[in-house]
């Protein structure tokens, strides 16, 4: 695995992508490589979890379209919490259409994702035009994109040539694309430093009966060379213990990172 022994701080210094630099510096400053996935359907619940987990996370991952009572104030409050607790926001939108359509889905509509999400992601199924479309909207705003090169679920078709081609696309757009949602590190040369954000992380269970497959933070960070662990139900699935669980995953992720860097 290439570059995984380097610290987040060293990588921030050398990284060609502005959004990646911000994230790596934040991770180092906050000593957290934990992203919480808050898949809840009410505004109050989302804000409450964001506020409780805020001190422990580098990144808050949203599915904004599942919130029943979404309004512009939710976004304002999330942005305030992001500043207060020092985390970035990742809307897990998984864009999948042609360039001309995704640029409108990203910048317009009810959610106006580009106006508040520092990071979003896209499938590579449509080919490179999807990156061109999203870049037109996101790059002037300083946003960053990650590609889905490998999904976490059983039987996912994101493998083999699909994964290889997805990495090749990212390589051609390094001003905007800085990493992947994947299960392994994807770098092929020492000059390359794509961040890998990895879902399917849990300490207590192996699956969810709907295809999800869980690995431990140690496995994700040390054995597979991923950079950010994404944890959903492992944290928000315990509504009375959000802080305890967030701290538990933050510590497990950070200890694994220290072990990987031999610090
Ligand atoms: N997610 C995955 N797997 C993937 C991708 C995204 O689980 O390959 I791309 C999302 C779905 C959910 C979160 O929002 O990550 C994982 O939540 P749980 O930790 O609750 O399984």
- The model's pLDDT over 66-82, given as tens digits with 9 standing for 90+, comes to 999 999 999 999 999 99
Catalytic residue status for 97: yes
Protein residue closest via CA to atom 9 of ligand 1: 151
- The first and second tokens of residue 239, run together, are 């509504």
Torsion, Cα of 210, 157, 249, 63 (10° steps) = -70
Element (H, E) at 167: helix 161-171
State the pLDDT at residue 191.
86
State the pLDDT at residue 68.
98
Q: Is the dihedral of CA 243, 245, 247, 250 positive or negative?
A: negative
Q: Which of 92, 103, 135, 193 is catalytic?
A: 92
C-beta of 238 in contact with ligand 1 (< 6 A): no
State the pLDDT at residue 5.
85
Protein residue closest via CA to atom 2 of ligand 1: 199
What's the pLDDT band for 1 if we cut at 50, 70, 90?
A: confident
Full-model pTM: 0.98
Q: Which of 10, 86, 97, 255 is catalytic?
A: 97
d(Cα 30, Cα 87) in Å, to the nearest integer? 9
Catalytic residue status for 94: yes
Catalytic residue status for 69: no
Protein residue closest via CA to atom 17 of ligand 1: 232
């Amino acid at each position: 695995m290439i570059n995984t022994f380097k610290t987040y701080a060293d990588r921030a210094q050398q990284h060609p992508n502005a959004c990646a630099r911000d994230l790596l510096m934040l991770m180092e400053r906050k000593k957290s490589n934990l992203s919480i996935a808050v898949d809840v359907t009410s505004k109050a619940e989302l804000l409450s979890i964001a506020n409780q987990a805020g001190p422990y996370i580098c990144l808050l991952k949203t599915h904004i379209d599942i919130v029943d009572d979404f309004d512009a104030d939710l976004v304002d409050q999330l942005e305030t919490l992001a500043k207060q607790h020092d985390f970035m926001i990742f809307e897990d939108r998984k864009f999948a259409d042609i360039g001309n359509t995704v640029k409108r889905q990203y910048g317009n509509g009810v959610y106006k994702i580009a106006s508040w999400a520092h990071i979003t992601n896209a499938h590579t199924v449509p080919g490179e035009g999807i990156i061109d479309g999203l870049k037109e909207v996101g790059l002037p705003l300083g946003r960053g994109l990650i590609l889905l090169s490998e999904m976490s679920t059983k039987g996912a078709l994101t493998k083999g040539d699909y994964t290889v081609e997805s990495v090749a696309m990212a390589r051609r757009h390094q001003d905007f694309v800085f990493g992947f949602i994947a299960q392994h590190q994807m770098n092929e040369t020492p000059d390359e430093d794509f961040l890998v954000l990895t879902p399917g992380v849990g300490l207590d269970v192996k699956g969810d009966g709907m295809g999800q497959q869980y690995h431990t933070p140690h496995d994700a960070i040390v054995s597979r060379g991923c950079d950010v662990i994404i944890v959903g139900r492992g944290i928000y699935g315990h509504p009375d213990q959000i802080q305890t669980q967030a701290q538990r995953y933050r510590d497990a992720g950070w200890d694994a990172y220290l072990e990987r860097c031999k610090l």
